[in-house]
Amino acid sequence: MTPRVAVIGAGWAGLAAAITLAPAANVVLFEAGKIAGGRARRVPLDGMALDNGQHILIGAYRESLRLMRQVGVDPAQALASQPLRWHQVDGVQLHCPDWPAPWHMLAGLCRARGLGWRDKLALARLLTQLRVRRWRIGHDVAALDWLRQRGQSQALLDGFWTPLILATLNTPPAQASMQLLANVLRDSLGAAQANASRLLLPRTDLSALFAEPALQWLAGAGAQLRLGQRVRHIDWHAARPRVDGDAFDVVLIATAPYHAAALAADEKLSAMLKAWQYQPISTLYLRFEGRVRLPQAMTGLQHGIGQWWFDREVLTGEAGLVAVVISAAGEHDTLSRAALTARVLAELQQHVPDLPPLAASWQITEQRATFAANVGLARPAPRLGVKSGYLAGDWLCADYPATLEGAVRSGIASAHALMQDWKKEHDANV
């Protein structure tokens, strides 16, 4: 018997679950918005089509890259791949060769600018200690405290660790989980594969990168796509769970946690999620009247508000467009759009010569872009406390902070758990 499965949410987790289920189930994919992709999609804004945030992938995102290939996307064409580069115009500049770990990082540190030899040795020593400990820190603590206790200087904290934690965990270092940071380091800087730490920068908009090809693949596989249809209620007490009155054999909720809690009707889940915190991400798009020549396609700023600059003309062909990303809460949240634009523009003018006049600007702020990757954060299991109910999302992937790879892995794992349970139940009834 083939189950009829409702997948609620067409972000990367929901899409991954639907793709995994499609060969063995009758999938109906619900998405409240008219555009799939969740927090990695193209959005219309003031006559423009802009990504709702600037995302990057790394070579270690094996499941994301595998699913891209499955739905017909060639990562070699869709993503600009480069060796790990940490390039701050006013701080640390670390360019690593394409060598296996740990040699690529050691070579990069030897040639790094913006760090003295004591700091280079302290960073190399700490990464070596983490590797020896197999990237386990024991009792989880705040990243800032753990790093200070192990001899990381203020220069290292300001120029390397804080920007890295904000970029990967989107959580201030004083509250961010050191274990989650160690997991990220394990699968990037510490991975045996030489390409694991490579930066993969999208050459196209985020909808074209995965969401749109995934929808086309799902339609070809026979899945029903219901975009622009928000699910209001799930009746878990019916003989078969009903999604807004429509009966299904199984329901998989792949929404943000605060939406999932309302749909799941699971008291234990609701109690857990009430304690969670969230962090924003702001992306400021600046379009200039002429060509902008940033030092790198992805350029960092240590001293300032605009943490990372992305050259969209180099990456996606959008003429004169620069995306400036600001992770987590901070001073920028108190500024008006005009004031924030002025501050970021002044920072660019200070470091980028011959900057053309600004033609237009747009700001996209996701107030709850990610869950806060706090110390000891408890994660729910994919199986709900009700029969035939499952969850998926980056917030369930206990090994990672909120990442695209975490979303994809969770979607795949939940789909496998669903089908395993279904097969076990129906094999027993044969």
- How would you write the chain as a 3-class SS string? CCCEEEEECCCHHHHHHHHHHCCCCEEEEEECCCCCCCCCCEEEECCEEEECCCCCEECCCHHHHHHHHHCCCCHHHHEEEECCEEEECCCCEEECCCCCCCHHHHHHHHHCECCCHHHHHHHHHHHHHHHHCCCCCCCCCEHHHHHHHCCCCHHHHHHHHHHHHHHHHCCCCCCEEHHHHHHHHHHCCCCCCCCCCCEEEECCCHHHHHHHHHHHHHHHCCCEEEECCCCCCEECCCCCCEECCEECCEEEECCCHHHHHHHHCCHHHHHHHHCCCEEEEEEEEEEECCCCCCCCCEEECCCCCCCEEEEHHHHHCCCCEEEEEEECCCHHHHCCHHHHHHHHHHHHHHHCCCCCCEEEEEEEEEEEEEECCECCCCCCCCECCCCCEEECCHHHCCCCCCCHHHHHHHHHHHHHHHHHHHHHHHHHCC
Cα separation, 358 vs 348, in Å, equals: 11
Average pLDDT (160-167) is 96
* CATH 3.50.50.60 intervals, the chain: 4-45+204-276+374-428
Going by pLDDT thresholds of 50, 70 and 90, the confidence category of residue 428 is low
The side-by-side arrangement of strands in the sheet containing 79-82 is 57-58, 199-202, 79-82
pLDDT greater than 90 at residue 98: no
Residue with tokens 């990610």: 370
Q: pLDDT, tens digit, for every residue of 407-417?
A: 999 999 999 99
Q: pLDDT, tens digit, for every residue of 375-395?
A: 999 999 999 988 899 999 999
Q: pLDDT, tens digit, for every residue of 175-215?
A: 999 999 999 999 988 887 878 989 999 999 999 999 999 99
Average pLDDT (261-266) is 91
* CATH 3.90.660.10 intervals, the chain: 278-371
pLDDT greater than 70 at residue 64: yes
pLDDT greater than 80 at residue 400: yes
Domain 4-45+204-276+374-428 in CATH 3.50.50.60? The answer is yes
What is the fold of 278-371?
Answer: Polyamine Oxidase; Chain A, domain 2 (3.90.660)
Angle among Cα 314, 54, 106 to the nearest 5 degrees reads 75
pLDDT greater than 70 at residue 429: no
pLDDT at site 430: 52
pLDDT at site 360: 96
What are the residues whose beta carbons fall under 8 Å from the beta carbon of 198, sequence distance 6 or more? 58, 59, 81, 82, 83, 84, 98
* Phi and psi angles of residue 301, each rounded to the nearest 5 degrees, phi first: -135, 120
Stated pTM of the model: 0.95
pLDDT greater than 60 at residue 171: yes
pLDDT greater than 80 at residue 219: yes
Q: pLDDT, tens digit, for every residue of 11-59?
A: 999 999 999 999 999 999 999 999 999 999 999 888 788 999 999 999 9
pLDDT at site 99: 85
What tokens were used for 42? 């193209």
Average pLDDT (251-267) is 94
- pLDDT above 70: percentage of residues in the chain: 99
